[in-house]
């Protein structure tokens, strides 16, 4: 069974296999299947390696590109959502590219939502930490961005956040985790609170009590 990466419907997957080439002890194949529900194609590249005496299969999804991250909440503005989504999608191919997109996305959030004075990313993160406006789990995550990314040794990450340069181990993933947390804090939670206030005000109104401002 396969969960369609396009429409998420689960279907009985009949794969068509085409052998591309046998190279030494490796056999390269392309497998594809069509979702009966949305009619979209899923394509895998398979390498069967017989070097160890047994068949070791390595399967890579080549279409559609997908990430294991949860989807971006709908409250997040398009320009941030697209940088973040791209950062997730390229992660398996290039952590450098992913981290560059994430740093740029992070900087935009800090400027637009935390209203930090535009400068370099290190100082902008410090300004948010000093402001006390974000909860402690996010201040710790932001502080760790500089530490995990070793910003001190790579000042260009800070002065030119979107630059594609070497990443430290786990840096790209940590950036995605941090941005997810910021999305929730700045875009999702305010909406939830607003809906709760509205519901409460409705009840207060029905009880002829003054509403919350
Ligand atoms: Zn489908």
**C-alpha 18 – ligand 1 centre gap (Å):** 22
Task: Please give the average pLDDT of every successive group of 10 residues along the chain, which has 213 residues.
Answer: 87 94 95 95 95 90 83 93 93 92 96 94 96 95 95 91 90 96 96 92 92 81
Return d(Cα 109, Cα 135) in angstroms, integer: 15
The 8-class DSSP code of residue 92 comes to T
Question: What's the pLDDT at 71?
Answer: 83
Q: Looking at residue 200, what is its pLDDT? A: 94
Residue 89 host element (H or E): helix 78-90
Do the Cβ atoms of 58 and 38 come closer than 8 Å? no
pLDDT tens track for 113-164: 999 999 999 999 999 999 999 999 999 999 999 999 999 899 999 999 999 9
Considering the entire predicted model, what is its pTM? 0.74
* Cα 7 to averaged position of ligand 1 atoms, centre (Å): 4
Gap from CA of 68 to ligand 1 centroid (Å)? 17
Distance 187 CA to ligand 1 centre (A): 30
| Whether 49 contacts 25, CB under 8 Å | yes
Structure tokens at 195: 């809906």
Distance between Cα 67 and ligand 1 center (Å):
16
The three-point CA angle 206-210-213 to 5° equals 115
Whether the Cβ atoms of residue 117 and residue 127 lie closer than 8 Å to each other: yes
- CA–centroid distance, residue 38 to ligand 1 (Å): 4
């Amino acid at each position: 069974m396969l969960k369609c990466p396009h429409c998420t419907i689960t279907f009985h997957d009949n794969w068509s296999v085409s052998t591309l080439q046998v190279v030494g002890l490796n056999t390269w194949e392309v497998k594809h299947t069509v979702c009966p529900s949305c009619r979209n194609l899923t394509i895998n590249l398979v390498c069967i390696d017989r070097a160890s005496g047994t068949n070791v299969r390595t399967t890579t999804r080549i279409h559609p590109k997908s990430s294991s991250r949860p989807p971006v909440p709908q409250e997040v503005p398009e320009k941030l959502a697209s940088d973040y989504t791209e950062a997730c999608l390229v992660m398996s191919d290039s952590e450098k590219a992913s981290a560059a997109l994430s740093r740029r996305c992070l900087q935009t959030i800090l400027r637009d939502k935390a209203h930090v004075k535009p400068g370099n990313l290190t100082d902008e993160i410090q300004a948010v930490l000093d402001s006390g406006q974000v909860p402690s789990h996010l201040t710790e995550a932001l502080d760790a961005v500089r530490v995990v990314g070793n910003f001190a040794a790579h000042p260009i990450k800070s002065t030119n956040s979107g630059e594609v340069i070497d990443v430290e181990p786990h840096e790209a993933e940590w950036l995605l985790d941090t941005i997810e947390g910021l999305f929730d804090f700045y875009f999702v939670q305010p909406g939830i609170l607003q809906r709760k206030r509205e519901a409460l005000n409705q009840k207060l109104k029905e009880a002829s009590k003054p509403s919350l401002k």
